[in-house]
C-alpha cells in the first residue's frame, strides 16, 4: 500500500466459487448502507469503492477480467477481495475443473477459481468471505458432495492474515443478511482510512457486534419459550423449537434485525432456524424439520416453571386489563366521597 490518503479502493469480487450468487444479490438489497451510496460517495470520510462484481459490472469478458489480472500482478493496489461460494478441491480428480473464472489464453481452458484465490489473496488489503459457503463450505460441502469443497480458511489456513495483518473476515449467512454485509464493508472502509481500529472478530472470524448473540436471544418468540408455549403446528405465533428451530444455539442476528428494512426474518416470522450461519451447517442441523435433540431436554426442563409463570401472568393480566374503578360517569365524585 502507498501512503497517500485513500479516496478510492477497488473491491474485487469473485463469485465463481461454488456459489449461487445469492450473497451478491443480497447485497443489492441492503439499505444500511446501500451499495449505491458507497459507490456514489454518500458517506463522508470514507473512500469510495470501485466495485468489480460480475453480476453488476458494466464491462464484460476481458474488460472485466483485466482488473483481476492487474490485481494478481500487483498493478492494482490496494484492493479488498470478496469471495463468494465454496472452494472446491481441484486435486480430487485426474483432469477438468469444478469451478473456473475466465479463460487462460495459452491453454484455452478455464482459469481455476482456486488459482485466482491463491494469486489474489496474498496481495489483498483484506479478504472478506461473503456467505456461509465461502466462510465454512456451506451447503455445497454437505456430506456426499462430489467436489470436496471447503471454506476459505480451510483452503488458505486457519491462522491466515492479509498483508495488512487482517484475518479473514467471515460474514456467514445463506444468504448473508443484506445490511450485515454492507455494514461490515463500511467498517472495513473506516478501518482503511485509519478511522476505526482492527475489526473485532470472534473465534470463527465473524464480526462480533453482529454475531455475538444467538437467534433465540434476539427472537421475539423467546417469551413463548419461557412460558413453555410450544406449538406443534407451523403457522402459529408461538415458539417453534419443537418444529425444528435451532435458534437457541445459532449465532445470528436475523430475529433481532429482520431481513430487509426490518421486514421478515426466520423464527420471528414462523420460519424455523436451520443454522445457516454456522460452520456446522447444513449437516449438523438435518433433518431440518425435526426437533433438535437438545431442545427436547431443555423444553422439558422449562415446562414446569413456564406453565407456572404463564398462569401467574394470566392472573395479573386479568387485573391489568381492567381500568381503575373511578373511570366512569360520576366515578370521580364517588372516589372523593370515599376519601380518595
Partner 1 sequence: MSTNERSNVVEMSWDPVTRIVGSLGIHTKIDFGTRRVIECRATSSIFRGYSVFLRGKDPRDAHFITSRICGICGDNHATCAIYAQNMAFGIKPPVIAEWIINLAEAAEYMFDHNLFQDNLVGVDYCEQMVRETNPGVWAEAERTPAPHAEAHGFRVIADIMRALNPFTGSFYREALEMSRVCREMYCLMGGRHVHPSTLYPGGVGTVASPQLFTDYLTRLVRYIEFLKRSVPLHDDLFDFFYQALPGYEQVGRRRVMLACWGGFQNPGACDFRYETMRSWGREMYVTPGIVIDGELVTTDLVDINLGIRILVGGSFYDDWVGGETFVKTDPLGNPVDPRHPWNQTTKPRPQKRDFASRYTWVFAPRWYHAPSGQYLALDSGGGPLARLWVTALAGRVRMDHVEATGSSVKIRLPRTATRAEVELEWRIPRFANTLERNRARTYFQAYAAAAALHFLERGMREVHAGNTRTWTEFKVPDEAIGCGFHEAVRGMLSHHLVIRDGKIANYQPYPPTPWNASPRDEYGTPGPYEDAVENTPLFEENGPDRFKGIDIMRTIRSFDPCLPCGVHMYLGDGRIIEARHSPTLGVQVVEGR
Annotated binding site for [4Fe-4S] cluster: 20, 133, 174, 216, 219, 239, 245
Q: Contact with partner 1 (CB under 8 A): which of 42, 43, 161, 237?
A: 237
3 is a contact residue toward partner 1 (CB under 8 A): no
Q: How far is the CB of 29 from partner 1 (least distance, A)?
A: 5
Binding mask 142-181 for partner 1 (x = CB under 8 A): xxxxxx--------------------------xx------
Q: Which of 4-12, 73-81, 93-101, 154-162 is the region at the interface with partner 1 (rule: CB under 8 A)?
A: 93-101
Q: Contact with partner 1 (CB under 8 A): which of 9, 11, 16, 251?
A: 16
Q: Contact with partner 1 (CB under 8 A): which of 10, 23, 89, 183?
A: 23
Q: Which residue's entry shows cell 467498517?
A: 187
Measured in whole angstroms, how far is the alpha carbon of residue 223 from the centre of its chain? 25
Our CA dihedral for 104, 107, 112, 115, rounded to 10 degrees, sits at -80
Binding mask 107-126 for partner 1 (x = CB under 8 A): -xxx--x-------------
Q: b/e string for 283-295 if b means 16 or more Cβ within 10 A?
A: eebeebeebbeeb
Q: Distance between CA 57 and CA 23 in Å, rounded?
A: 16
326 is a contact residue toward partner 1 (CB under 8 A): no
Q: Residue 291 — φ and ψ, nearest 5°?
A: -60, 130
Q: Contact with partner 1 (CB under 8 A): which of 6, 56, 193, 196?
A: 56
Q: How far is CA 126 from CA 78, 294, 308, in A?
A: 9, 38, 53
26 is a contact residue toward partner 1 (CB under 8 A): yes
Q: Which is nearer to partner 1, 89 or 299 (CB)?
A: 89
Q: How far is the CB of 284 from partner 1 (least distance, A)?
A: 13
Measured in whole angstroms, how far is the alpha carbon of residue 126 from the centre of its chain? 18
Q: Distance between CA 38 and CA 43 in Å, rounded?
A: 7
Q: How far is the CB of 243 from partner 1 (least distance, A)?
A: 8
Q: Contact with partner 1 (CB under 8 A): which of 289, 297, 312, 332?
A: 289
139 is a contact residue toward partner 1 (CB under 8 A): yes
| Closest by Cα among 134, 129, 133, 128 to 188 | 128
Q: Give me the half-sphere count of Cα atoms (radius 13 Å) on the Cβ side of residue 128.
A: 27
266 is a contact residue toward partner 1 (CB under 8 A): yes
Q: Distance between CA 23 and CA 176 in Å, rounded?
A: 6
293 is a contact residue toward partner 1 (CB under 8 A): no
Amino acid at each position: 500500500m502507498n501512503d497517500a490518503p485513500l479516496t478510492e479502493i477497488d473491491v474485487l469480487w469473485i463469485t465463481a466459487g461454488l456459489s449461487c450468487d445469492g450473497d451478491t444479490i443480497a447485497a443489492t438489497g441492503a439499505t444500511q448502507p446501500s451499495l449505491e451510496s458507497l459507490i456514489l460517495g454518500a458517506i463522508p470520510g470514507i473512500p469510495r469503492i470501485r466495485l468489480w462484481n460480475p453480476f453488476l459490472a458494466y464491462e464484460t469478458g476481458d474488460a472485466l477480467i483485466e482488473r483481476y489480472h492487474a490485481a494478481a500482478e500487483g498493478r492494482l493496489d490496494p484492493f479488498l477481495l470478496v469471495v463468494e461460494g465454496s472452494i472446491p478441491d481441484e486435486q480430487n480428480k485426474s483432469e477438468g475443473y469444478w469451478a473456473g473464472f475466465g479463460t487462460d489464453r495459452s491453454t484455452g481452458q478455464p482459469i481455476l477459481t482456486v488459482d485466482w484465490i491463491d494469486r489474489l489473496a496474498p496481495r489483498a488489503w483484506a479478504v472478506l468471505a461473503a456467505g456461509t459457503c465461502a466462510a465454512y463450505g456451506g451447503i455445497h460441502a454437505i456430506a456426499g458432495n462430489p467436489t470436496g469443497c471447503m471454506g476459505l480458511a480451510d483452503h488458505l489456513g486457519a491462522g491466515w492474515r492479509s498483508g495488512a495483518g487482517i484475518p479473514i473476515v467471515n460474514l456467514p449467512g445463506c444468504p448473508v443478511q443484506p445490511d450485515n454485509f454492507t455494514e461490515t464493508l463500511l467498517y472495513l472502509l473506516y478501518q482503511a482510512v485509519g478511522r476505526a481500529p482492527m475489526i473485532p472478530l470472534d473465534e470463527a472470524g465473524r464480526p462480533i457486534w453482529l454475531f455475538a448473540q444467538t437467534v433465540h436471544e434476539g427472537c421475539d418468540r423467546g417469551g413463548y419459550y419461557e412460558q413453555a408455549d410450544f406449538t406443534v403446528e407451523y403457522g402459529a405465533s408461538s415458539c417453534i423449537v419443537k418444529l425444528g428451530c435451532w435458534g437457541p444455539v445459532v449465532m445470528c442476528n436475523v430475529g433481532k434485525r429482520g431481513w430487509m428494512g426490518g421486514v421478515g426474518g426466520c423464527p420471528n416470522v414462523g420460519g424455523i432456524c436451520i443454522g445457516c450461519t454456522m460452520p456446522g451447517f447444513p449437516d449438523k442441523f438435518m433433518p431440518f424439520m425435526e426437533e433438535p435433540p437438545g431442545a427436547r431436554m431443555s423444553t422439558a426442563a422449562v415446562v414446569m416453571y413456564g406453565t407456572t409463570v404463564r398462569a401467574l401472568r394470566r392472573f395479573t393480566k386479568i387485573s391489568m386489563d381492567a381500568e381503575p374503578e373511578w373511570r366512569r360517569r360520576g366515578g370521580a365524585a364517588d372516589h372523593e366521597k370515599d376519601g380518595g
